[in-house]
Structure 1
Amino acid sequence: MDRALFRRIGNLVFIGACGVATLIALGALVLIMWSLVTQGIGGIDLKVFTMTQPAPGSEGGLSNAIVGSLVMCALAMVIALTVGILAGTWLAEYGAGTKYGHVVRFLNDVLLSAPSILIGLFVYELLVAPFHGFSALAGAVALAFLATPIVTRTTEDILNLQSSALREAGMALGASRSFVVRRIVWKAARGGLVTGGLLGFARISGETAPLLFTSLGNQFFSTNLAQPMASLPTTIFQFALSAYDDWRRLAWVGALLIAVAVLSINIIGRIIARETHRP
């Protein structure tokens, strides 16, 4: 067989396989979203956002779980952004070629792929067992462990993409290296840093396992970080396994809310990233 013809056939087979794999992935996503919409859209009303989780057979909503998720995710992202941006900046600007930098980068990659349930167990031994009680603070710390490596990797990558001319121009004017990083490089990479934060938030917004070991859950409305706090993932887990139809209906509603939130955050992140790389 002619070599050129063989290559064309191989290319067509590869393109076809990629297309089939893409259709399978998109089909699975469509089926998931379809099931969430058909099962959950009918249960969305004002009570979902204004009432706390009900007793079986009673009217109620998910307001305590929604607020709890927002509180813990917000606190987790404060921790993750602070640690992740500083760590990513050090890896990109100071420790890029050092042995210590390679070790930190490797450990960050390990943490990036660590199962969330292991993170939950670690934080349980760190912040729950010694204090003899579950807490929202422990839940936020567990979520921060999951978001921090994403922010760190994104920060390092986006800073490495910035032109070295920016750094050289700032230092040529007499500015210190830290000043150049803070006032010039970070500003130029602002869109990418925001995208990393959004991706980290999307990563932790639906996590259940770490919260089962840390914040546990609360059927009442609470914003006390030292006490157990409700969250959408733990409430969905509890309600979906129950024998009550009204609880299972709220579980579908909660799942739909999380799916829409994660999808929206990813879309926003993509838009910001596209605008950042646009010449």
Structure 2
Amino acid sequence: MSSTGPLQPLTEGGVKHAIVGTLEQITIALAITVPLGLACAVFLNEVPGGYARFVRTIVEAMTALPSIVAGLFIYATVILILGLEKSGFAAALALSVMMLPIIIRAADVVIRLVPSSLREASYALGAGQWRTVWTVVLPTARSGLTTAVILGTARGIGETSPVLLTAGFTAGLNTNPLSGPQTSLPLATFSLVGSPQPALIARGFGAAALLLALVVLLFVLARAIGGRGPGELSRGQQHRRVLASQRDVVRMSARRPVPEPAAPDPADS
């Protein structure tokens, strides 16, 4: 939109700069929240105690945190105190504050659903607690953890207030999230719809439709991935397991020696 005027037709300009900004900001936010969120969820389930209850209370409180407060927190700490400029990185930090409790709570619920018999079997084989978590619990809850990440992504990708306070605004394309203002799809929608020109308002509704389609796609993907419980196999995995069992039966039958016919008894003759 940097070279498009407010009176030019809709065939001019677009939201490429907002799409790039959204993808870069959500990628940085995921790089921060996924390891922290999964580690915190594992801690809440595997290290019970008073400190774990305190952390769980903080996470539940952060779930109801207004998005404008998360934006003000990053604006005050990163921009005012540390002196960094408004950028896509600052917006990603604000999105991380909003996404982190969603991922932690969803991952916490999924890890709780892992059958305790799997943990006991791993301990019986001599594995330690953290090896059991790494090789048994997390692989079993993989589909649910993926759903938790997608739900957190859908929450962060549609936030406007944190980005409005921390990212700045630009009509041009900025591919460097560490320097200069950067626009996302929610911020572009907010700015374009507030314009008095009908062409800009139409572009704002187009950006909103694109954002809505992206969020719906993420929720559909989360539903498709998380439709089965932890440890439950999909139809394709069940079919492959049946085929593998049949191949094992064929191999065992081929290796089994054929019994030789018994020699005739002389007494019978």
TM-score w.r.t. the length of structure 1 is 0.78
User: Could you say which residue in structure 2 is the equivalent of 1:115?
Assistant: 66
CA distance in 1, matches of 2:5, 2:208: 19
What is the DSSP-based 3-state SS (H/G/I as helix, E as strand, rest coil) of the residue aligned with 2:183? coil
Where does residue 225 of structure 1 map in the other structure?
Answer: 177
1:82 to partner: Cα distance:
1.1
- Residue among 22, 25, 32 paired with 1:69: 22
Q: CA deviation at 1:53?
A: 7.5
Match of 1:8 in 2: none
Written as runs of structure 1 = structure 2, the 5 A alignment for 1:142-161 is: 142-161=94-113
RMSD: 1.5
Conserved? CA contact 1:162–1:185, under 8 Å: yes
CA distance in structure 2 between the partners assigned to 1:176 and 1:81 by the alignment: 24
Q: Select the structure of larger CA radius of gyration.
A: 2
**Of 209, 212, 217, the match for 2:161:** 209
Aligned partners of 1:71 and 1:231: how far apart in 2?
Answer: 9
Q: Is contact 1:53-1:63 (8 Å) kept?
A: no
Describe the shift of the 1:238–1:53 C-alpha distance in structure 2 as closer, same or farther (beyond 3 A): farther
1:172 aligns with 2:124: yes
Q: 1:173 and 1:222, CA in 2 relative to 1: closer, same or farther beyond 3 A?
A: same
- Size of the aligned set, in residue pairs, is 227
Find the counterpart in structure 2 of residue 258 from structure 1.
Answer: 211
Q: Check conservation: 1:52, 1:64, Cα contact below 8 A.
A: no
> Residue 100 of structure 1 aligns with which residue?
51
Measured against aligned partners, the alpha-carbon deviations of 1:18-39 in whole angstroms (never above 9, x if no partner) come to xxxxxxxxxxxxxxxxxxxxxx
- In structure 2, runs of 5+ residues without a counterpart are 234-269
1:274 to 199, 205, 227: 227
Unaligned runs of 5+ in 1: 1-50
Q: Deviations over 1:90-113 (max 9, x none)?
A: 001113xx1111111111011111
C-alpha separation in 2, matches of 1:276 and 1:200: 19
CA deviation string 1:69-120 (max 9, x = no partner): 011011111211111100011001113xx11111111110111110000000
C-alpha distance in 2 between matches for 1:219 and 1:128: 22
Q: Check the 8 A contact 1:147/1:203 in 2, yes or no.
A: yes
Partner of 1:194: 146
User: What residue identity is the alignment partner of 1:180?
Assistant: T
Question: For residues 157-197 of structure 1, what are the alpha-carbon distances to aligned partners after superposition, in whole Å with 9 as ceiling and x for unaligned?
Answer: 11110011111111222222111101111000000000000
The runs of at least 4 aligned residues of structure 1 exceeding 6 Å deviation read none
**Counterpart-to-counterpart distance in 1, 2:40 and 2:3:** 39
